[in-house]
A = this chain, B = another copy of it.
């Protein structure tokens, strides 16, 4: 009991301090310049779209599917936003011409306008959704930290109601608001596909559970509420306890089972990926790529101290 408490305190401290250190310029500079070679390459497919596509094809050859995640966050200038939007549209055109089993992209609203205004982001999200629709590409409107949740949900619902059913979005169980958001999203018709995560941003106690056990319990509640409502979900967690319980649910529900994608991050728990594949579940790997991989990468390290060991091993090998 005490030991467990101590462990939680330690990992919390570790997480806080790592998110701090990762922002410090010299560390960031060093890791950014050397990181992909030193071990970040396990978690990030590479810096270019061609690296991402290569990773997708390798995964598809193993029987998995992929969700491409062009990394980057928070672009504040009109020009920057237009540039990113153009690059996403160009990426969709590139994918359209590729020979892939599934085409599936995750995009972050603060990249294409949400840091400026809801309307700018809506407009660009619609350009993206429209382009993707014609190329049979699924788009996941990713969820960022709490100040952006309202607008992201609003943009998602508006576009979904306009007929962009190739669009999905994400709910984060650590936010207090999430069960209400789930209920609201399940009133859409047809029920949207939802990616369900615990949440990885640093949020304060006014908006989010701080305690891991509470986040886990909230995740459990959210997942089963969605499944019992018959929603299709992306179970985006590496928590083997809830994964096992959902596997049991699907087995019990047989022909009435809702559609569940088991979504895991590139490079994380490869044995679990193989086990799920062997059990005939749809396995989707989130494939991040791009020059701005550093923020993503430091969140992965903060989540799990063992990942840092993996990198340190690379540093001193």
Which B residues touch A251, using CB under 8 A?
224, 228, 248-249, 252
On whether the beta carbons of B248 and A257 are closer than 8 Å, the reply is: no
Does A247 belong to the interface (CB within 8 Å)? yes
The 5 closest A-B pairs by CB, nearest first: A248-B248, A252-B252, A252-B253, A249-B252, A245-B248
Which residues, 234 to 257 on A, are CB-close (under 8 Å) to B? 240-242, 244-254, 256-257
Which B residues touch A244, using CB under 8 A?
241-242, 244-245, 248
Which B residues touch A250, using CB under 8 A?
248, 252
* Nearest chain B residue, comparing its CB with the CB of A241: B244
Q: A243-277, CB under 8 A of B: which get 1 and which 0?
A: 01111111111101100000000000000000000
Q: How far is the CA of A247 from the CA of B245 in the complex (A)?
A: 7
Which B residues touch A256, using CB under 8 A?
252
* Nearest chain B residue, comparing its CB with the CB of A251: B249
* Nearest chain B residue, comparing its CB with the CB of A247: B245
Which B residues touch A240, using CB under 8 A?
241
Task: Give min CB distance, A214 to chain B, whole Å.
Answer: 15
